[in-house]
Structure 1
């Protein structure tokens, strides 16, 4: 199979500045709601989180967005993970949402700040019991000799917390990404895609069309 021959046209629609909300958070919410209602996949809230460590090495992974408002975008993780280590060294991150069946993408650049223990606890206690146990069992990003070792750790946590509430691990928490830039992308025919950038302009957000 020749990968160069795989292509398609983007014909679902266009995007003009008059279609956009002046507030990028509201525009994000509109597109997110459309993606959820379209039932495009099992994970419409999936986003690529890109980090760069102190050596300038970039890393990406898919995480799930758990809350979004004008204060920022929230996700949760093990605080000893590679993503958390990268953020401790360099708080600049980017988020990327790709809803390809809708021919839409959103890119967000911003700074990640750690959530308070109270905020992390509130979310942790809302998770399914098994997910709470998995957070305790996994030393995320650390090497493990076998799948069996991981499953044994999970069973140990089941026994440890078989009675009562599972508490928040001290090594688990969340981050809020505070945006400094948004880009909304809509596919168009002939690769003349529509791209609009939101940047702070002192009083709110300015919007600029970008060439594809």
Structure 2
């Protein structure tokens, strides 16, 4: 299993974090039993109260980290309201963690359409049927809604709901953490003042 340079005392020869993240994610895909792309997303509401939940990372590049959701859900409303969010990946099998935070933008319609079309048909129906984060009177009400949309889109394409799309977190900081004996962990933080600026790499005390 690759250690991505950690045993040498340095995380990577690169001065940007995305190659290192890609190497760590690849390692996680080989070692994690379920959902190596699972990540906690933290937001705040209009009163400054925090919220955190797990989502699935669906893409990343030098422009940021992408996931998809119902924009009328709690996290959707909070991100649209604040336009900022944070993520935390934890790969227990590798004893590694990656944290990042930054401003958030909505992905393009073309990106959202392409990903939505790649989802299982049942998942596309579910995007229509679920009023995410809102009270549900009974499980039967959800099953009834699923049945109604299944009948509506029994044949042909299932269009993407207008309230369903993706967010891209454009990080201004990304921290890589690797467990070490006696809690003398390795920590490297990549920082930049703005989302399109150059990266500074700083080693941190554990």
Q: How does 1:56-205 map to 2 (within 5 A)?
A: 56-200=48-192, 204-205=198-199
Q: Residue 207 of structure 1 aligns with which residue? A: 201
- Give 1:206 shift: 1.3
Question: TM-score if structure 2 supplies the norm length?
Answer: 0.92
Aligned residues: 199
Change (3 A) 1:101 1:22: same
Q: Deviations over 1:123-181 (max 9, x none)?
A: 10111100000000001001011111101100111100001100011111111110100
Q: Deviations over 1:159-211 (max 9, x none)?
A: 00001100011111111110100000000001111111101279621111111
- Segments of 5+ residues of structure 1 without an aligned counterpart are 1-12
Change (3 A) 1:187 1:14: farther
Q: Distance in 1 between matches of 2:83 and 2:8?
A: 32
Q: Distance in 2 between matches of 1:188 and 1:152?
A: 51
Q: Residue 16 of structure 2 aligns with which residue? A: 23
Q: Residue 5 of structure 1 aligns with which residue? A: none
- Segments of 5+ residues of structure 2 without an aligned counterpart are 1-5
Q: Distance in 1 between matches of 2:193 and 2:9?
A: 20
Change (3 A) 1:98 1:69: same
Q: Distance in 1 between matches of 2:7 and 2:50?
A: 32
Runs of 4+ aligned residues of structure 1 deviating over 6 Å after TM superposition are: none
**Higher-RCO chain (CA-CA 8 Å, sequence separation at least 6):** 1
Question: TM-score if structure 1 supplies the norm length?
Answer: 0.89
- Give 1:14 shift: 4.5
Q: Secondary structure at the match of 2:161?
A: coil
